[in-house]
Amino acid sequence: MLQTLNLTNVAVIEKATLEFDEKLNVISGETGAGKSIMLDALSFVFGGRADRSLIRSGESKMKVEAVFSSLTENQKAFVKTELEIDAEDELFLSRELDLSGKNTCKINGELVPVNMVKKACQMLVDIHGQSEHLAILNNDYQLQIIDLFSKKADKVLADLHAKIDTLKQIDSEIKSLGGSESEKQNLIDLYTYQINEIENAKIGENEAESLSQEKREMQQFERVNEALKTAYESNAKSSFGDGALEKLYTAQKALQNIGELNENYHNLAERINSLCLELEDINDTIHTALNSNVFDEERFNFLDQRLDYIKALFRKYGGDYAGLKNYYDDISKKLDNLINGAEKYKELSAKKEALLNQIFTLQDKLTEIRQKSAEELTKRIGAELKFLGMPNAKMSVQFGKIPEQYSYSGADRVEFMFSANLGFEPRPLNKVVSGGEMSRVMLAYKIVVGEVDNISTILFDEVDSGLSGAIATTVAQYLARLSGNKQIIAISHLPQICAMADRNIKVEKFTQNGTTHTRTTLLEGEDLYKEIARLMGAGANEKGLQVSADLKNASNEYKRI
């Protein structure tokens, strides 16, 4: 349910917080007091049109926050699977708009696009009075309601989903076999060419790395040659004098000459001798490398071309050697399937044909269930509309077929049809229903399907439009019935509806320091009786307050019963 609504700098509202009851909430107030601003704010935070004219004069931005609590399991599952946002028992929506038109939307603190907010609210709330939020006008939603109302469609839909999933797997397998004969031959030619190209390349597992290393060294030939020469001459005797090796031999002989005087001198001489032997071996290796370090231009050109060829194949078939090998193994298997898969193709095609027949049968069965469900649904809505002062109202469902061969939701396209007046055939609901009629249609519809749909909060703007007398009392009673399993928030001018509310909020305008403000007040006790009396046209005198109290008591008694 919608627990809290926070508004900051919205039109004439500087700051306001509204707390809602889980049952029937009624917002009332004088015409022009700012009740519609509440609906505009709700529409805004639920993903509606961002209108910069709503930003309070003199302010740079506005902000609306809505907190939903006591989420149902279906709502939590929807938020997690469809929106990929974790939600426990609460969902926090926030939306800001500045004068430049910059829009910032958040769900549970995470930045999200506005279309995600809209998607979330389709499961959470219906706003009646803003046609873009009316779920019942959406054909897909109409189909879902018919299925929910039938209570028989679930199993058929589950079977249909499973069979379509299996069919997609078979299609994938058929595709891997090459599809039609011409497609198959094209793939055989392609895979054969690619396999030959990879095999003829004869690329070794570490060849690219090895050739790259060799090329890098050849590119640094002068540097390598100079380093080897310097290292060799530093160790060996040269024109510059004795190298390290000669100096070590000199040190070794000096220590050896005094070795008989002290065993430590002898040991040091032996250790230096070991160093000399190791350094001689190192210098021989350096000398060999120096002699073999010859720049071979023909070899360099070969390395350059070979590496370009290997890199081109890697880019074409997997990015590196492992990718190339995986691609080769994969297309080798596919080629084998293509050449030897004629029998498999025949088998899969037969399975597909049988599965399609089963899918079409399920779709026909689903259509039959839906048609019966739709007939019962519209019949019951029509009966409720008669009690709501629309004795000539007619509702029906027009069935059509989707253009696709099959789909997860079946083959049906539905349109709710409506006529309010005698002698007029029903036409699409979203084309002919007026605002006042829509409120009563939704009220009747919600009474009928209230226990099966997943939306937990319904907002009615001017639900009492064009109503009075006994019908107004009936509408108030309907709202009370509906609030037994839905949270209702209604903007109303009718005393009967205000008296029936579990929570009453008054919106009023006032002037302070030369500036217009709007405030919201929770009405209780005598303040509530005064508001009901105002709506009745009675004075705030003792008699008027008594009539108000009597109406409130009668409403409470109705709800108790």
Instruction: Report pLDDT for 308.
Output: 92
Give the CA distances from residue 438 to residues 179, 291, 434, 473, in Å, rounded to whole numbers and listed in that order.
52, 97, 6, 18
CA distance 270 to 276: 10
Q: pLDDT-derived band of residue 464, with 50, 70 and 90 as boundaries?
A: low
For the segment 515-546, what is each residue's pLDDT rounded down to a tens digit? 878 888 899 988 898 888 888 887 777 777 88
pTM above 0.85, yes or no: no
For the segment 274-312, what is each residue's pLDDT rounded down to a tens digit? 898 888 888 888 888 888 777 778 888 999 999 999 999
Instruction: Report pLDDT for 133.
Output: 46
CA distance 323 to 319: 6
CA distance 163 to 176: 20
Instruction: Report pLDDT for 20.
Output: 94
Cβ–Cβ under 8 Å, residues 184 and 338: yes
Task: Give the pair of three-digit tokens for residue 12.
Answer: 């004439």
CA distance 141 to 432: 19
Residues 6+ apart with CB under 8 A from 238: none
Greater pLDDT, 228 or 500: 500
CA distance 508 to 501: 18
Q: Which of 182-186, 487-491, 506-510 has the lowest mean pLDDT?
A: 182-186
Give the CA distances from residue 4 to residues 22, 65, 68, 82, 88, in Å, rounded to whole numbers and listed in that order.
11, 8, 7, 24, 17
**pLDDT of 386 higher than 80:** yes
Instruction: Report pLDDT for 415.
Output: 93
Site of tokens 């279309």: 115
Counts for the chain of helices (H) and strands (E), in that order: 19, 15
Cβ–Cβ under 8 Å, residues 365 and 155: no
Task: Give the pair of three-digit tokens for residue 143.
Answer: 């189909």
Residues 6+ apart with CB under 8 A from 543: none
Q: Helix (H, G, I), strand (E, B), or coil: what is residue 18?
A: strand
Site of tokens 């120096």: 290
CA distance 169 to 382: 45
Instruction: Report pLDDT for 355.
Output: 95
**pLDDT of 465 higher than 90:** no
For the segment 211-262, what is each residue's pLDDT rounded down to a tens digit? 999 888 888 778 888 888 888 878 776 555 567 888 888 888 888 888 888 8
For the segment 37-52, what is each residue's pLDDT rounded down to a tens digit? 888 888 888 888 888 9
Site of tokens 């959406």: 138
For the segment 426-444, what is each residue's pLDDT rounded down to a tens digit? 898 878 777 667 767 878 8
Residues 6+ apart with CB under 8 A from 298: none
The angle formed by the CA atoms of residues 290, 291 and 294, to the nearest 5 degrees, is: 90
Rounded to an integer, the average pLDDT of 173-185 is 74
Residues 6+ apart with CB under 8 A from 167: 352, 355, 356, 359
Q: Helix (H, G, I), strand (E, B), or coil: what is residue 380?
A: helix
Task: Give the pair of three-digit tokens for residue 170.
Answer: 């078979």
For the segment 7-20, what is each residue's pLDDT rounded down to a tens digit? 999 988 888 899 99
For the segment 310-357, what is each residue's pLDDT rounded down to a tens digit? 999 999 998 899 999 999 999 998 888 788 777 777 888 899 999 999
What's the residue count for the chain? Answer: 561
Average pLDDT, the chain: 85
**455-490 burial: b if 16+ Cβ within 10 Å, else e:** bbbbbbbbbbbebeeebbbbbbbbbbbbbeebbbbb
